Structure 1
Amino acid sequence: MSLLRLATRALRPTCSARQFSTPTPGPAKSSNLPLYLGGAGVVGLATYVYLGGSAAPFSTTSAAPAAKPKPEKSALDPTQFLDLKLKSVEPYNHNTSRFVFELPDGGAALSPVASFVAVRASEGADGAPLDKNGNPVIRPYTPISRPEHEGELVLLIKKYETGVLSKYVHEQLKPGATLSIKGPITKFPYKANEFEHVALIGGGSGITPLYQLLDHALADPTNRTRFTLLYANVSEADVLMREELSALERAHPQALRIVHTLDNPPQGWAGASGYVNRELIKAHVPPAELGDKVKVFVCGPPGQVVALAGKKDGMKQGAIGGILKELGYSEDQVFKF
């Protein structure tokens, strides 16, 4: 479903995902890649119509809707954590749910693209996960609600058996409780039409920053950039944001192409199968020879990122490596979320 529909249901982890694949189009094909290791609406503009009567009987006139001024400042704070109340939990599939949080004073996140929020348990909360030094466990997530959406912040959170914060959120956080959130924090300052072609390669819940970027860029009527999304998952049931992505592709058929690939495709699967490998990238991503006309964004489980683009250096990008380096892409052409 589109984010417009998502918001009406009450309502972009940054790059964290699980043990996902990466493919080649057409029939299933084996790969020598290592197994990937497991690790992130509608704008509520209030309007009203005033019906004013005149002296003549049965005569009415409609005043123009009075638009509520758009917020100029984010309801969040990138310098400190704020406790946000959980409004609702909407199950998405067998291990992922949408968590809808209330924003202070009905404001909007106004998140720059691409950006994330840092999340931890509220201070003093029962069962709050701590690290080995006794400090709160903090994880990054990319909101899937639009930056201008007022009153709510929506996070798509996948539960991992080894993920201490994701387990806490899924198992202990109930509507009415709070979660401590800081942000938005910019990851990559996307600019309209900076590139001729953008390739986005993702796995599992690593789709959230890629979706945030796509949703933002394609909503711009001046957009001239073409996008290709290569999205890998274990099974069809693990595909996240599928309806929203399909809606974007239908609405922008000349600007967006999506290629799904699965580790375990069902019978009759029309997409690709296996890992995102050299063949799939060469078939769908413009060559490195195009230089600064092409940009490749990667977001997925650490094993996938390493195999495709090399290991990150903490919060830094780290040296380019993996398949993209073998295909000639430079550090300036690749960004790892």
Structure 2
Amino acid sequence: MSFLAARSSFLRASRGFATAAAPKKQSNLPLYLIGAGTAGIAGYYYLNLQDAKPKQEKSPLDPENFKDFKLKKIKPYNHNTSEFVFELPNNEASLLPVASCLIVKSSDPEALKDSKGKPIIRPYTPISPSDLPGELTLLVKKYDNGNASKHIHSLKEGDTLSIKGPIPKWPWKMNEFDQVALIGGGSGITPLYQILTHALTSPTNTTRFTLLFSNVTSADILLKPELDALQSKFPDNLKVVYCLDKPPTTNEGEEEWKGPKGYVGKEVVKEFVAGPELGEKLKVFVCGPPGQVEAIAGKKAGMKQGELGGVLKELGYTEDQVYKF
């Protein structure tokens, strides 16, 4: 091989070796994308943290003093009952503990007084969830001889009602009881409904509930769609039994009502409520018109429970097993 040919071959080999050995320059695009993504995520969380409101620690209600709250909306419920939706300031929730109630009176000190000139106050249990922001709903039945209920029904949207609370009643503890019976009548359903919605919607609940709810006619049954929905959703933990004093009839005069008829008496309680032999694993809550409460569990002594009496005492239940709202 001539010198020139050898040199040419050497140069070609050298160029090929250099081309193969030289490291390939890599793009920085993936690093830029990763950096941009990280910055985007950080920015997202930063903005959300900036917008997030601090956890509400205190109720806008005052347990020591009456405060005026604006009536935001009135929603007729049936022939003598309406939902009154009050506005809570700063879109806050009521944070009412279960079970508790409120006390209301007129915002006008001259509008609602008793025969002695003292303000008339009445307790009500809200039906709205305690964590619902911005609203508090009272379900109020208008009674012919009920001064407070007539006053509330006279309110118009934009008016105010003076409210104090919460007033603690029974300190509910999840799964404290295996069986709970709720016996209510008329608008006395509200504290029982408060317990049901709180307990049943908790994923940890194991307590089984039976609700005996008595009314005059089917048109008087309050919260029936809501109660039926709860029973449908939690069939293993809730049984609802409606009792009517005046059941509906067909055109032929034959009764079409298949539930218990008349007042809640011994037979109804024996059929649907767990027996007193369960001891501390059972609790019976009672709420309704004073006459019904007295017939079922004995008369209350003002704000105190009073002695156990009525149907429940006759059937062997003890004072520790019964609570009267």
TM category (shorter chain) comes to: 0.7 to 0.9
8 Å contact 2:109–2:119 — kept in the other structure? Answer: no
Q: TM-score, normalised by structure 2?
A: 0.82
**1:132 shift after superposition:** 1.9
For the pair shown, which has the larger CA radius of gyration, 1 or 2?
Answer: 2
**Identity in percent:** 61
**1:72 shift after superposition:** 1.3
Alpha-carbon distance in structure 2 between the residues aligned to 1:316 and 1:153: 27
Alpha-carbon distance in structure 2 between the residues aligned to 1:271 and 1:223: 28
Alpha-carbon distance in structure 2 between the residues aligned to 1:139 and 1:252: 33
Query: Aligned match of 1:115 in 100, 117, 136?
Result: 100
Alpha-carbon distance in structure 2 between the residues aligned to 1:222 and 1:285: 23
Question: Residue deviations 1:193-218, cap 9 Å, x none?
Answer: 00000000000000000000000001
* 2:322 aligned residue: 334
Residue 140 of structure 1 pairs with residue 123 of structure 2: yes
Alpha-carbon distance in structure 2 between the residues aligned to 1:272 and 1:333: 24
Structure with higher helix content: 2
User: Secondary structure of 1:179's partner?
Assistant: strand
**1:68 shift after superposition:** 4.2
Residue 153 of structure 1 pairs with residue 136 of structure 2: yes
Q: Which amino acid aligns with 1:136?
A: P
* 1:83 aligned residue: 68
Query: Aligned match of 2:157 in 141, 165, 175?
Result: 175
**1:270 shift after superposition:** 2.6
* 2:295 aligned residue: 307
Q: How does 1:64-75 map to 2 (within 5 A)?
A: 68-75=53-60
Query: Aligned match of 2:305 in 300, 309, 317?
Result: 317
Q: How does 1:1-337 map to 2 (within 5 A)?
A: 63=44, 68-124=53-109, 128-171=111-154, 173-267=155-249, 268-337=256-325
Query: Structure 1: which 5+ runs fail to align?
Result: 1-55
Question: Which structure ranks higher in relative contact order (CA pairs < 8 Å, sequence separation ≥ 6)?
Answer: 1
Query: Structure 2: which 5+ runs fail to align?
Result: 1-35, 250-255
* 1:50 aligned residue: none
Alpha-carbon distance in structure 2 between the residues aligned to 1:77 and 1:328: 40
The size of the alignment, in residue pairs, is 278
Q: Which amino acid aligns with 1:241?
A: L
User: Secondary structure of 2:261's partner?
Assistant: strand
Question: Residue deviations 1:74-97, cap 9 Å, x none?
Answer: 110000000000001100000000
User: Secondary structure of 1:213's partner?
Assistant: helix
Q: TM-score, normalised by structure 1?
A: 0.79
* 1:21 aligned residue: none
Distance change in 2, residues 1:107/1:239 (3 Å): same
